[in-house]
Chain A
């Protein structure tokens, strides 16, 4: 068990190094740089050139990469060209928002997925099941950003039940109860929008898992022994079906990363995803590379967690 984890951990290191090189080279391959949007005749072009030189933008990519990675290891991702502040501070401002959003989404995802999955698995081919599978197909088909816009329009603007932008009501003092409530209130709608879409795969998975388990021999045995139907479900079927779901927890995190980028943009929610999109548009490379690296590491970690959980619950897949 520990061996597997350690081995899995060691594989991660070259993965991250490779990722960082890829990230860096792709960022450099984008046309233009942070200074190319600065077309202002009052700024002497030689000053711009000097600044390029100062920022090291004229060096060959491997020199730039080395400069960047050696600092990055020490936690220094350089200065954001646009915000004129250290990238680490900038991300620090945003990361808590994104973490909260992801956490709430995750909770919603499971809150929706587990009951729906159980109902539709237990009573498969009934109307309830058809309704639920219908919803999951809809969820698979609907693009997240369109769905979020719809939710924003209906609940945010039409019914005015939720705030439509930002992470907190302006003017509240941090630390007060009101402030925390306002924060949660602002997270609910984006989190729900995202959860309703991302949950569908978990629902489907749980459903087929339950249907699968229902026909296993040990269930037949349990039934033959005279166990009650509810006991069979709670003790035998559910337990076995939920384990793989738990194992997918890590991948779920990876999926959320992609989702938050859109949702934050639509709900003007100042998290990392929004920062990421802006930075790409404005060629704020130091921020882009740091964020992609962070996202990459998060997904590598996510799959690591999944692998570990899987190997705990299912000894068959441990690496020999």
Chain B
């Protein structure tokens, strides 16, 4: 699965915590093409979303701001970057790594291709594309009026140059990976055996052709590198010096709707409109971006200190749901929380998963009973006011095309859980059950600290499992230790049997990076031939047909429910407040609302009553 920006994003989410790592928030609607939102519906303003029992539902949130009132000419808005860490200041798509930097970048630069609500590239962006019959060769045409903010045209050579820089052996950003090695001649170029990348051809000033080694449907959902690098600026620079150069940090350039006027490192950025923007002149004169601390976000919003924020801590939402000067937008997050079972080891020499048939959790009946035993519906309601809810499959509903909504997963049923364990021979010996062979069964469960909810939530799971007679021991550990023990270094802690983790998934639905046989991040260390087959089919050529691909992933989702190497517990939502004076704003993908349309109805932000 991958993120919109081309590189596959599967950062672990820290539960309800605000460290910079949860930088996997969803994308803005500035790159999308389809006019209607997918999974949400519009709602009239001011209506109470809360039900009588204090619950909310993401279904009641729109991802597009209600437009009320007339836009005034120009105007200045303040955009709050909610983070307790300042942005790093690597302000170029080809080099940045942190999400805060991305939030800065989106105002002044953009991708050449846009995509729709299913994350598939469209022909509505700054460039269009055509695919050859064998699906391997793409021809891109950049629109004539797409220019850098210094007036130079964005050319095919700039696009080629971006590939050359990222593929260069001295490149020190995070982008070079399987998306790039899939380009013909890239590996040879990277190793220094060739001067040029043989698969990339500049056909004319605005036309570029790229040939890929393997044709997969993932190419269309984020695997193409769509960010050019200005050759007239970076052309003479050593690749190793680019990342730290002033052209990246102090005077960055792009071809987006706004341009950077001034930067105070880590603190604020002022943008002014780019009158030469290819979609048309932006409405607003100025955008001020400032970093605000999550602890003060509510006050900032109420006082009108910020109009927009990039994210909002969901635990603060219930208390502020009726804030009078904002409208809340919401989308389903591309993420899920899950319980994982350790079923094997990581073979460091061969870099493959080695399932262990004798692992403590190797019996699927035990795993299934544990899923039946937990009531995630209540967890979502009690702990998250309904803003997280029971998860059913391993493809979240943020991918409406592929999420199998008809699959109920495994619902809460304690009797069933007990029955499964009884039938499988886990007999009770006193308070707890033993293994079928009569030996003692103690299950070690680890979960991450962070936030107020983490510990009570983990305790709830332990209690639920105790209730069906399983002796589960909880260990709460800090983020780094947690992933160390789960196996992010390949050195799994053998004492861990069950863990609670979370994944943020990218825009491509392919889950191979998490559940493939050679994926280090396959923490359950699960592998089977059927799984290999389904994952391979999902990215095969025949999967270009959406219906076929849907069928494959439908089968995979069901297969994972039968095998249960992990089970999903909660899906998540994202809620973002927007000041009422803002017009033409949307979050999520495929909204058809772009940043140059952003406007305001009055000079000053609306202040809370």
Q: Which of A164, A170, A268, A282 contacts B288 (CB 8 A)?
A: A170
Q: Which of A31, A149, A167, A168 contacts B295 (CB 8 A)?
A: A149
Asked if residues B513 and A164 are in contact (CB atoms below 8 Å), the reply is no
Among the stretches B2-10, B149-157, B367-375, the one at the interface with A is B2-10
Asked if residues B88 and A168 are in contact (CB atoms below 8 Å), the reply is no
Asked if residues B19 and A281 are in contact (CB atoms below 8 Å), the reply is yes
Q: Is the interface of A mostly helix, strand, loop or mixed?
A: loop
Interchain CA distance A118-B177 in the complex, whole Å: 68
Q: Does B489 contact A (CB under 8 A)?
A: yes
Q: Does A26 contact B (CB under 8 A)?
A: no
Interchain CA distance A93-B480 in the complex, whole Å: 28
Q: How far is the CB of B259 from chain A (nearest CB, A)?
A: 13
Interchain CA distance A44-B478 in the complex, whole Å: 25
Asked if residues B296 and A41 are in contact (CB atoms below 8 Å), the reply is no
Across-interface contacts of A165 in B (CB, < 8 A): 290-293, 296, 300
Q: How far is the CB of B153 from chain A (nearest CB, A)?
A: 29
Q: Does A132 contact B (CB under 8 A)?
A: no
Across-interface contacts of A266 in B (CB, < 8 A): 293, 295-296
Q: Does A39 contact B (CB under 8 A)?
A: yes
Q: How far is the CB of A75 from chain B (nearest CB, A)?
A: 18
One digit per residue, 1 when the CB lies within 8 angstroms of any chain A CB and 0 when it does not, for chain B 253-287 equals 00000000110111111100000000000000000
Q: Which residues of B (273-320) have their CB < 8 Å from a CB of A?
A: 288-293, 295-296, 299-300, 302-303, 305
Across-interface contacts of B86 in A (CB, < 8 A): 270, 274, 278
One digit per residue, 1 when the CB lies within 8 angstroms of any chain A CB and 0 when it does not, for chain B 173-184 equals 010011100000
In the complex, residue of chain A having the shortest beta-carbon distance to the beta carbon of B489: A36
Among the stretches A152-160, A216-224, A238-246, the one at the interface with B is A152-160
Asked if residues B20 and A170 are in contact (CB atoms below 8 Å), the reply is no
Asked if residues A82 and B88 are in contact (CB atoms below 8 Å), the reply is yes
Q: Which residues of B (28-73) have their CB < 8 Å from a CB of A?
A: none
Q: Which of A84, A167, A168 contacts B243 (CB 8 A)?
A: A84
Interchain CA distance A152-B305 in the complex, whole Å: 13
Q: How far is the CB of B383 from chain A (nearest CB, A)?
A: 24
Interchain CA distance A302-B58 in the complex, whole Å: 55
Interchain CA distance A84-B98 in the complex, whole Å: 11
Q: Does A6 contact B (CB under 8 A)?
A: no
Q: Does A171 contact B (CB under 8 A)?
A: yes
Across-interface contacts of A152 in B (CB, < 8 A): 296
Across-interface contacts of A166 in B (CB, < 8 A): 264, 267-268, 290-291
Q: Does B481 contact A (CB under 8 A)?
A: yes
Asked if residues A283 and B291 are in contact (CB atoms below 8 Å), the reply is no
Across-interface contacts of A164 in B (CB, < 8 A): 296, 299-300, 305
In the complex, residue of chain A having the shortest beta-carbon distance to the beta carbon of B270: A171
Q: Does A10 contact B (CB under 8 A)?
A: no
Asked if residues B11 and A39 are in contact (CB atoms below 8 Å), the reply is yes
Q: How far is the CB of B177 from chain A (nearest CB, A)?
A: 4
Interchain CA distance A5-B488 in the complex, whole Å: 52
Interchain CA distance A118-B155 in the complex, whole Å: 73
Q: Does A37 contact B (CB under 8 A)?
A: yes
Q: How far is the CB of B58 from chain A (nearest CB, A)?
A: 26
Q: Which residues of A (145-180) have their CB < 8 Å from a CB of B?
A: 149, 152-153, 156-157, 160, 164-168, 170-171, 173
Asked if residues A265 and B84 are in contact (CB atoms below 8 Å), the reply is yes
Across-interface contacts of A142 in B (CB, < 8 A): none
Asked if residues B264 and A167 are in contact (CB atoms below 8 Å), the reply is yes
In the complex, residue of chain A having the shortest beta-carbon distance to the beta carbon of B9: A40
Asked if residues B521 and A39 are in contact (CB atoms below 8 Å), the reply is yes
Across-interface contacts of B514 in A (CB, < 8 A): 41
Interchain CA distance A277-B83 in the complex, whole Å: 13
Q: Which residues of A (1-52) have their CB < 8 Å from a CB of B?
A: 30-32, 36-37, 39-46
A-B contact count (CB 8 A): 144
In the complex, residue of chain B having the shortest beta-carbon distance to the beta carbon of A45: B520
Q: How far is the CB of A89 from chain B (nearest CB, A)?
A: 9
Asked if residues A32 and B483 are in contact (CB atoms below 8 Å), the reply is yes
Interchain CA distance A173-B263 in the complex, whole Å: 10
Q: Does A66 contact B (CB under 8 A)?
A: no
Given contacts A268-B293, A270-B86, A278-B86, contact A170 B484 (CB under 8 A): no
Asked if residues B293 and A30 are in contact (CB atoms below 8 Å), the reply is no
Interchain CA distance A265-B296 in the complex, whole Å: 11
Given contacts A30-B480, A39-B483, contact A170 B268 (CB under 8 A): yes
Asked if residues B299 and A157 are in contact (CB atoms below 8 Å), the reply is yes
Asked if residues B351 and A45 are in contact (CB atoms below 8 Å), the reply is yes
Q: How far is the CB of B13 from chain A (nearest CB, A)?
A: 10
Q: Which residues of B (430-449) have their CB < 8 Å from a CB of A?
A: none
Given contacts A39-B12, A160-B303, contact A171 B290 (CB under 8 A): no
Interchain CA distance A283-B85 in the complex, whole Å: 13
Asked if residues B10 and A39 are in contact (CB atoms below 8 Å), the reply is yes
Q: Does B490 contact A (CB under 8 A)?
A: yes
Q: Does B172 contact A (CB under 8 A)?
A: yes
Interchain CA distance A164-B292 in the complex, whole Å: 9
Interchain CA distance A274-B295 in the complex, whole Å: 14
Asked if residues B85 and A278 are in contact (CB atoms below 8 Å), the reply is yes
Asked if residues B488 and A39 are in contact (CB atoms below 8 Å), the reply is yes
Q: Does A107 contact B (CB under 8 A)?
A: no
Across-interface contacts of B351 in A (CB, < 8 A): 45-46
Q: Does B228 contact A (CB under 8 A)?
A: no
Q: Does A313 contact B (CB under 8 A)?
A: no
Q: Does B244 contact A (CB under 8 A)?
A: yes
Asked if residues B10 and A278 are in contact (CB atoms below 8 Å), the reply is no
Interchain CA distance A46-B489 in the complex, whole Å: 10
Q: Does B89 contact A (CB under 8 A)?
A: yes
One digit per residue, 1 when the CB lies within 8 angstroms of any chain B CB and 0 when it does not, for chain A 258-300 equals 0000000110101000100110011100000000000000000
Q: Does B187 contact A (CB under 8 A)?
A: no
Interchain CA distance A275-B2 in the complex, whole Å: 30
Q: Which residues of B (513-555) have their CB < 8 Å from a CB of A?
A: 513-514, 519-521
Across-interface contacts of A138 in B (CB, < 8 A): none
Q: How far is the CB of B534 from chain A (nearest CB, A)?
A: 17
Q: Which of B98, B172, B265, B288 contacts A93 (CB 8 A)?
A: B265
Q: Which of B290, B292, B513 contacts A41 (CB 8 A)?
A: B513
Known: A41-B519, A84-B90. 11 other contacts (CB 8 A): A31-B484, A36-B480, A41-B520, A43-B174, A46-B351, A82-B98, A165-B296, A170-B268, A171-B261, A265-B84, A268-B292
In the complex, 14 of the A-B residue pairs with CB atoms within 8 angstroms, ordered by the A residue number, are A31-B478, A36-B483, A42-B8, A82-B88, A85-B244, A157-B296, A157-B302, A160-B303, A166-B268, A170-B270, A171-B288, A173-B262, A268-B267, A268-B296
Q: Please report A residues at the B interface, Cβ cutoff 8 Å.
A: 30-32, 36-37, 39-46, 82-85, 93, 149, 152-153, 156-157, 160, 164-168, 170-171, 173, 265-266, 268, 270, 274, 277-278, 281-283
Q: Which 3 A-B pairs have the closest CB atoms?
A: A32-B480, A41-B513, A42-B8
